[in-house]
Copies of this chain bind each other. A is one copy, B any other.
Amino acid sequence: MSGTTLDDYTDLYAQRVHGMKASEIRALFSVANRPEVVSLAGGSPYTAALPLDAIGEMVAELIQREGAPALNYCVGQGEAALREQICAVMAEEGVDASVGASPDDVVVTTGSQQALDLVARVFLDPGDVVLAEAPSYVGALGVFQAAEADVVHVQMDDDGLVPEALEEAIAAVAASGRRAKFLYTVPAFHNPAGVTLAEERRERILEICQRHHLLVLEDNPYGLLGFEEQPPAPLRSRARDGVLYLGTFSKTFAAGIRLGWILAPHAVRDKIVMASEASILCPPTFNQRIATRYFTTMPWREQLKVFRELYRERRDATLAALTDFMPDGVRWTHPGGGFYVWLTLPEALDSKAMMPRAINARVAYVPGTGFYADGSGTSHLRLSYCFPPPERLREGVRRLGHVIEEELSLRSTFGATGSAGAPRRVAGDVPPGIA
């Protein structure tokens, strides 16, 4: 069987593969994880704050008592006991039985990432349009791209998605003769923008979507991580129909067990289950039983308080450092919860082109272009404050401030197109990402 080369078979690739490119986040993982670099790039929760000994005991007991079924297959929808606990967690945010949320309409997934993917499979044909905030979660853009859908971004401001901009985007899509299937939105503590959709806009957004027969895909990983107050009630708590609601244990418990969920209208739920069975047979039984035990026997509300306090302190350290170290002309959002701050640089700067210098200065972030499907975002970047301790965050922001200052002084010396020190194509080696 010699004589062939490995690449001989790549001519067999599917259409959709030709657009697949490595994401920026991925290219960064390898460098950003070096110990000397302060990584403000990744969105990893601070799992060291979990009561690890107690969890270890809980899991050992679980294996002893119910190891045989826990280590075997389960039903594709996910175990009933966990779906009940999921309803208890959703109820904390007002998505409860009074608005029709029921364990029967929950599907357990491999993180909410898989829920996004399943929604794409059930609803998206190539060429369909998805409306999404500008910027949007990089993983969702990846899913929509893999589904060969077109993302049309809708403007946000400090109060989240702008209703008028949504109306305009819908009209523009219709005028171009295409069909938008749904609006993808992260209304609470947005990734990457760090903003929250204001109360007074919520009914309005729902009304617009309903009027235009658009599904709403509400992705809510951070809703329980408000630092001063809870965010306004989710869209799903205001509308039984037309909203697909995604949640995850990644940020409130443990990302490494990869469990999330979707709450969907009954008919849709059936299709989601079938798509999930074709994709993974069933979500990990063992992890489901761990989560069920955790949420039934351990003080998870107290643990949430621990997380909130921890992330609040880190956000505060980050915002204080930004005030102290950022040069004039840099702006940033003020997240009331979640993991992220969104920076806007002076127009002349390109956050992707700046990356190699930042890494050189031992600080990492995610360039803004990763969060847009249309190549925009060059003057933005995302900082995550969830993982490094406060003093590291401060040091990271200090380094970044320095890099931006140097960049600005280079620009004023060489003009907007010059980029002495590191040629522009260095940044080009970072692939254009999910965009």
Binding site for B on A (CB under 8 A): 1-2, 4-10, 12-17, 20-23, 26, 29, 42, 44-45, 47-48, 50, 52-53, 55-57, 59-64, 67-76, 110-111, 113-114, 117, 121-125, 128, 139, 142-143, 145-146, 181-182, 206-207, 210, 213, 215, 238-242, 250, 254-258, 265-268, 270-271, 274-275, 277-287
CB neighbours of A281 from chain B (8 A): 111, 113, 139, 258
Looking at the complex, which one of B14, B64, B76 makes contact with A123 (CB distance below 8 Å)?
B14
Give this chain's copy count: 2
Contact B114 A1 (CB under 8 A): no
Contact A75 B29 (CB under 8 A): yes
Contact B12 A181 (CB under 8 A): yes
Looking at the complex, which one of B17, B207, B254, B274 makes contact with A286 (CB distance below 8 Å)?
B254
CB neighbours of A10 from chain B (8 A): 267-268
Contact A13 B67 (CB under 8 A): no
Q: Nearest CB to that of A253 among chain B residues?
A: B71
Contact A48 B26 (CB under 8 A): no
Contact A258 B280 (CB under 8 A): yes
Contact B123 A146 (CB under 8 A): no
Contact B13 A123 (CB under 8 A): yes
Contact A117 B9 (CB under 8 A): no
CB neighbours of A15 from chain B (8 A): 125
Contact B6 A277 (CB under 8 A): no
Looking at the complex, which one of B53, B73, B265 makes contact with A6 (CB distance below 8 Å)?
B265
Contact B67 A265 (CB under 8 A): no
Contact A50 B76 (CB under 8 A): no
Contact A280 B123 (CB under 8 A): no
- In addition to A1-B239, A56-B61, 20 A-B residue pairs with Cβ atoms within 8 Å of each other are A4-B241, A6-B266, A7-B265, A8-B241, A8-B242, A12-B123, A14-B122, A14-B123, A47-B67, A47-B72, A52-B67, A52-B68, A56-B64, A59-B63, A72-B256, A111-B280, A113-B279, A121-B146, A143-B278, A258-B280
A67-B44 contact given A14-B124, A59-B59, A280-B114, CB 8 Å threshold: no
- Find the residue from A9, A13, A22, A62 having the highest chain B CB count within 10 A: A9
Contact B286 A122 (CB under 8 A): no
21 contacts between A and B (CB under 8 A): A1-B210, A5-B241, A14-B121, A16-B125, A17-B271, A23-B277, A47-B71, A48-B68, A50-B67, A52-B64, A53-B64, A56-B63, A57-B60, A59-B60, A71-B257, A113-B280, A117-B280, A121-B146, A143-B279, A146-B279, A258-B280
A60 to B55, CA, bound (A): 8
A270 to B181, CA, bound (A): 30
Shortest distance between the CB of A222 and any CB in chain B (Å) = 15
8 A-B pairs with least C-beta separation = A256-B285, A56-B63, A6-B265, A71-B254, A1-B239, A52-B67, A60-B60, A48-B68
A72 to B142, CA, bound (A): 21
A280 to B53, CA, bound (A): 28
Contact A280 B72 (CB under 8 A): no
Contact B55 A67 (CB under 8 A): yes
A72-B55 contact given A6-B265, A242-B9, A256-B285, CB 8 Å threshold: no
Q: Nearest CB to that of A99 among chain B residues?
A: B1
Looking at the complex, which one of B6, B47, B206, B257 makes contact with A68 (CB distance below 8 Å)?
B47
Q: Nearest CB to that of A21 among chain B residues?
A: B274
Q: Nearest CB to that of A75 among chain B residues?
A: B29
Q: Nearest CB to that of A244 among chain B residues?
A: B9
